[in-house]
Amino acid sequence: MRSCYKHAVRCRFQTGRGILGALTFLTVGSRAQVLFDGSLTVPPAEQGWDYVALPGTAVWTNADGTTWLDTLALRNEQAGIARLAPMALDAQSGFAIDFTVRLEAEAHVSADRAGFSVIVLDREARGIELGFWQDRVFAQADDPLFTHAEEGPLDWSAGPLDFSLGFSREGYRLFVDGESLLAGPLRDYAAFTGLFDVYETPDFLFFGDDTTSASARVELRRIALVGPVRLSLAASRAEPGSVSLAWEGVVGTGYGVEISTDLQAWTRLATVTSADAHFAFDLPAQESTGYLRVSHP
């Protein structure tokens, strides 16, 4: 299964000569939005995030349409942005946190720590912490706690990378530039006790340096929450007499429209993007019978 979760998504369809029949939709709530835009010259608090730095040597800069977090001056520095998600992060329904970052420099003195980390916890405070090095990304295990688990290679030489961290019933899956990189189970880090114990907080998000054993300089470009979507039918804007599959989504995010005859093997018909929150895909004009889904990434 390529997609880490499916958006709202199965419908049996039959099209031809502008006629659509035998439609059944799985209807779920839709909630998707950009949570952080690094091109804005505003502090994190104005975008719904808390910024914390301890002891306080970290450098946070907004200049020339870029946002940087730099903790290289002091290895013991901990700094980053955190918030609660604006919706319940339900792994059973599926969701993803998309983010675009560039790791310019990173140093660590432990094989289990990283100067830049991402934490995502779902509504049950289960999730994953990922550590980023200049040549790889790895998951933090929960047994033994905070030890190096599954990992995958990274290459930052071409600039920022687009990540999509998806949650589903099966666990988490991390995509990089649209390709699956690593996957594993959701972790329970509740056994941790100490300063900044956030691991029992439902719907929690963190991006930054959360360890005294590493440091980094990272550009934060974009963070978006991609939740389940509500599919509907609408008249095609491009083809009179045709029907479009329509949904609300996140600007700048690609959604895949896929087809199957048996709910097992799926073929991607198109990857749909939109300049606004309104997405649409014209259903094939030829006679077709099968199931459709919208997936991400």
Same domain for 71 and 211, yes or no, is: yes
Cβ-contact 146, 193 below 8 angstroms: no
8 Å CB contact between 11 and 23: yes
15 and 131 share a domain? no
Residues 197 and 97 in one domain: yes
Same-domain check for residues 172 and 63: yes
116 and 45 together in one domain: yes
* Residue finishing a domain among 198, 226, 254: 226
Which segments of the chain have a pLDDT < 70? 1-32, 241, 285-288
Tell me how many domains the chain contains. Answer: 2
Are residue 76 and residue 198 in the same domain, yes or no? Answer: yes
The pLDDT score that the predictor gives to residue 11 is: 46
Per-residue pLDDT, 122: 98
Do 96 and 155 belong to one domain? yes
User: Does pTM top 0.85 for this prediction?
Assistant: no
Strands 127-132, 116-121: pairing kind: antiparallel
Residues 48 and 154 in one domain: yes
* Nearest partner of 296 among 173, 130, 119, judged by Cα: 173
> Does residue 122 sit in the same domain as residue 78?
yes
> Do residue 261 and residue 200 come from a single domain?
no
Q: Are 205 and 171 within one domain?
A: yes
